[in-house]
C-alpha cells in the first residue's frame, strides 16, 4: 500500500492483508442472502478503463462491469479490495442503479469476502487473469462468463449473481 492511502472500513467490514494482497474481511458474521455493502464509485466508459491500463493497470483491473458499455470505478472505495475466488462466498448483484455485494454462503467474522470475477465478464470480454485463490476447485485462469464450467454457471444463475447484461452478452440460453 502506498503511503497516505486511507483504508476504507466500517463497523461491518475491514480491509486487511489476505492471501492475495489486501481484501475485504467481515468484521461480523453475515447470513446467506444478506446484502453486505454497496460497491460505490464513479461510472466510466470502456474507453476510460482502457486509458487506465496505460497509466494504472491495477485501477483498471479493479473496475466492475456496470452495464453493456460502462464500468464502475471504485478507485478509493472499499470495492477496490474485492478479490476473486473460484469458490466465492458472495456475488455482485445489481439493484436499480447500485451494485451490491451479496452473501451467497454464511460468512464468519474474520473471513475474507470474495466473489467470482467471471460473473462480471461478458461472453464478449477478452480480459483474463491467472488465479491464485487456493481453492480445491480453482480454475487456474479466470476468463469470461462463457468459459465457466456448466455446473458453476447453473449455480450462479440460480443464486442470481450474474447481471442480466452479462447473460445477454452471448451466452447460450
DSSP 87-100: S-SEEEEEETTEEE
pLDDT at res. 17: 96
The parent domain of residue 17 ranges over: 13-117
Q: What share of the chain is helix, strand, coil (3-state, %, to 5)?
A: 25, 30, 50
Phi and psi angles of residue 115, each rounded to the nearest 5 degrees, phi first: -135, 165
| Residue where the block lists cell 470505478 | 73
Write the pLDDT tens digit of every residue in 154-168.
999 999 999 988 988
CATH code assigned at 93? 2.170.270.10
Residue 163 lies in a domain: no
Residue 35 lies in a domain: yes
Write the pLDDT tens digit of every residue in 58-86.
899 899 999 988 999 999 899 999 999 99
Residue 27 lies in a domain: yes
| Distance separating alpha carbons of residues 61 and 64, to the nearest angstrom | 8
Please tell me the total count of domains within the chain.
1
Residue 171: pLDDT band (50, 70, 90) is low
Reading across the β-sheet that carries 42-45, which strands appear in turn?
A: 42-45, 70-73, 64-65
Write the pLDDT tens digit of every residue in 91-141.
999 999 999 999 999 999 999 999 999 999 988 888 899 999 999 999 999
Phi and psi angles of residue 149, each rounded to the nearest 5 degrees, phi first: -55, 145
7 pLDDT higher than 70 = no
Q: Which of 101, 96, 94, 97 is nearest to 80 (CA)?
A: 101
Residue 45 lies in a domain: yes
Sign of CA dihedral 47, 145, 62, 78: positive
Residue 96 lies in a domain: yes
Residue 76 lies in a domain: yes
Number of neighbours of residue 142 by Cβ within 10 angstroms: 21
Residue 89 lies in a domain: yes
Residue 147 lies in a domain: no
173 pLDDT higher than 80 = no
| Distance separating alpha carbons of residues 154 and 56, to the nearest angstrom | 35
Largest CA distance in the chain: 48
Amino acid at each position: 500500500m502506498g503511503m497516505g492511502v486511507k483504508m476504507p472500513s466500517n463497523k461491518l467490514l475491514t480491509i486487511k492483508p489476505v492471501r492475495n494482497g489486501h481484501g475485504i474481511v467481515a468484521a461480523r458474521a453475515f447470513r446467506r442472502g444478506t446484502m453486505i455493502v454497496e460497491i460505490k464509485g464513479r461510472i466510466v466508459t470502456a474507453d476510460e478503463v482502457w486509458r487506465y491500463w496505460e497509466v494504472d493497470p491495477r485501477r483498471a483491473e479493479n473496475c466492475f462491469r456496470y452495464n453493456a458499455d460502462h464500468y464502475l470505478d471504485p478507485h478509493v472505495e472499499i470495492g477496490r479490495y474485492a478479490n476473486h475466488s473460484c469458490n466465492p462466498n458472495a456475488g455482485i448483484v445489481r439493484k436499480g442503479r447500485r451494485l451490491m455485494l451479496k452473501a451467497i454462503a454464511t460468512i464468519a467474522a474474520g473471513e475474507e469476502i470474495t466473489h467470482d470475477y467471471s460473473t462480471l465478464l461478458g461472453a464478449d470480454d477478452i480480459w483474463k487473469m491467472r488465479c491464485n485463490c487456493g481453492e480445491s476447485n480453482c480454475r487456474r485462469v479466470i476468463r469470461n462468463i462463457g468459459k465457466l464450467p456448466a455446473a458453476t454457471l447453473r449455480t450462479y444463475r440460480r443464486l442470481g449473481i450474474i447481471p442480466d447484461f452479462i447473460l445477454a452478452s452471448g451466452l447460450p440460453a
